[in-house]
Amino acid sequence: MKTESPIPKTLSEAIDFIAGYIEAFPSSVEMPLADATGHVLAQDLTAPANLPRFDNAAMDGFAVRSADLAGGGTGVQLRIVSTIAAGQTGQHEIGPGEAARITTGAMMPKGADRVVMQENARLEGNQVRLFTASTDKAHIRRAGDDIAQSDLILEAGTIIGPGQIILLAALGFQSVSVTPKPKVALLSTGDELRDAPAPLIPGQIYDSNRPMLSMMLKAAGAEISDLGIIGDDPDHLLRTLVGAAGDHDLIISSGGASAGFADHLTRAVSQRGHLEFWKLDMRPGKPIGFGDVDHCPILILPGNPLAAAAGCAVLGRPLVHCLAGRKTRQDGWLRLPVSRSFSKPLGRTHILPGRLVTDPSKGMTIADPLPERGSASLHTLSQATVLIMLAGHQANVDAGDVVDVLPLWQA
Ligand SMILES: Nc1nc2c(c(=O)[nH]1)N[C@H]1C(S)=C(S)[C@@H](COP(=O)(O)OP(=O)(O)OC[C@H]3O[C@@H](n4cnc5c(N)ncnc54)[C@H](O)[C@@H]3O)O[C@H]1N2
Ligand code: MOO
């Protein structure tokens, strides 16, 4: 699948390219509410009922008629004719000179148009004396004040989290229509890689990218097929990619992305598809590539762990989000002051692993780059919580300048 768009060279062009390239799933599945967290809503939802469902008391106290409080209203004595707890329906209509004892959330009785807090009342047998003014707050939550029946409550493309679950639960939804999770095939390449507990001979290392990428992509909403480690054998690699392309929505690889004699990925993609872009003007992550194998999109991440993590955060996650139909593309990016100054070549995006810290002088959150250890540093990755983005157009960044910051491990 070759597109006519210009070939992306910068990270932001690559992000835009991917958003234009990927089409969200047209299909949907019905998901029980209890399992829906992390899924993306497939259709707009409207409210089947008002919220609150009925006029109810916002405070524990006494439901009364405002007219009885007229003329200053302090020290007014009313007769208690009923008690209404949350969950009960008030049977009595409150008449002149009458009050109902009521709890927070209980349905307002007919006739009453305000609640006097019990802190402003004194019980005197079956009477209550009220110390309040008719200008005080009414303390009633009106039906439909929060959400009106038929209101659009959640748009297709919304990611379902606890904030959406509480609303859906309150409206009585038991299930929702969501897009299926994108099926992502994940592989590592390199003859040097082994999975623990296999013993290592000199020259070999354990595959650490794959477990990290798997967690990052699952958190982003992907269903992962682990294709394991593929050695530096071009035929085996091509067979693996073609096999995965048939029943996955996306392939993500790490390693073998650059131009060394054992780097076969870009060639494999060119044989069975199209390499849309390769090599971005960014550090780390320069050899990142993107294209398709038999029409299945593939993101080729570099082997260096920091480059793999950064590439997954800036391009892998958005790819999964696009496939799942997630609406907001710039999800998660923050604008924060950076803790120290930097100089870098104009035109190139620099991604610095860092942490969020509090600026002691201002008490504000700022982004603090970790000491430079190179893009193979697992120590750095284990300490980092954010990626600090120094944009291509910035040659000099001073301490306090506001930069783009992306939480590294977020969903
Ligand atoms: N002559 C050049 N050499 C390199 C260039 C270059 O432009 N010219 N670019 C460097 C940069 S930048 C990067 S990033 C790496 C990326 O190369 P590859 O994607 O081909 O990655 P590999 O060579 O396969 O591996 C690089 C490094 O990472 C280790 N690795 C690979 N996979 C894993 C894994 N799953 N878990 C843990 N570690 C992994 C691998 O052993 C290597 O040490 O190329 C530079 N070279
Ligand atoms: O750019 Mo490589 O991607 O430095 O590690």
The pLDDT of 170-189, averaged and rounded, is 97
pLDDT value at position 5? 73
Q: Cα(311) to centroid of ligand 2, in Å?
A: 10
**Around Cβ 124, how many Cβ atoms within 10 Å?**
10
Q: Which ligand is nearest to the CA of 286?
A: 2
Any residues with Cβ below 6 Å from ligand 1, and which?
188, 190, 192-193, 205, 207-210, 254-258, 260, 263, 284, 286-287, 302-305, 307, 375-376
Distance 322 CA to ligand 1 centre (A): 27
Q: Are residues 73 and 155 in the same domain?
A: no
Classify the C-alpha dihedral 288-292-296-297 as positive or negative: positive
Gap from CA of 302 to ligand 1 centroid (Å): 6
Confidence of residue 71 (pLDDT cuts 50, 70, 90): low
Residue that is last in its domain, among 156, 178, 200: 178
Question: Ligand 2: does its nearest atom lie under 6 Å from the Cβ of 179?
Answer: no
Q: Among 323, 355, 388, identify where a domain stops.
A: 323
- pLDDT-based confidence at 328, cuts 50/70/90? low
> DSSP of 350-402, one letter per residue?
EEEEEEEEEETTTTEEEEEEPPP--TT-HHHHHH--EEEEE-TT-SEE-TT-E
Residue 375 Cβ inside 6 Å of ligand 2? The answer reads yes
- Note the pLDDT tens digit of each residue in 354-368: 999 999 888 999 999
Query: What is the pLDDT at residue 1?
Result: 64
Nearest-ligand number for the alpha carbon of 348 = 2
Co-location of 298 and 199 in the same domain: yes
Coil, helix or strand at residue 406: strand
Give the Cα separation of 370 and 220 in Å (integer).
25
Instruction: Answer whether 388's CB lies under 8 Å from 351's CB.
Output: yes
Mutate to test the pocket of ligand 1, among 230, 279, 304 (most ligand atoms within 8 A of CB): 304
Same structural domain, 229 and 255: yes
Looking at the chain, how many residues does it have?
411
Mean pLDDT confidence for 198-215: 98
> Which amino acid residue places its CA nearest to atom 16 of ligand 1?
302
Q: What is the ipTM of this complex?
A: 0.98
Q: Specify the ligand 2 atom closest to the Cα of 375.
A: 5
Residue 46, domain CATH: 3.90.105.10
Distance 282 CA to ligand 2 centre (A): 8
79 shares its domain with 44: no
Burial tier of 71 (Cβ tally within 10 Å: 0-12, 13-18, 19+)? exposed
Identify whether residues 41 and 96 lie together within a single domain.
no
Whether 276 and 305 share a structural domain:
yes
pTM over 0.90: no
303 CA → ligand 1 middle, Å: 4
Res 230 pLDDT > 80: yes
Q: What's the number of domains the chain is made of?
A: 4
Q: Is residue 346 part of a domain?
A: yes
State the pLDDT confidence band at 308, using cuts at 50, 70 and 90. Answer: very high
Residues 366 and 259 in one domain: no
Distance between CA atoms of residues 193 and 195, nearest Å? 7
- Give pLDDT tens digits for 126-152: 999 999 876 789 999 999 999 999 999
CATH number, position 376 = 2.40.340.10
Question: Where in the sequence is the domain holding 133, given as residue range(s)?
Answer: 56-141
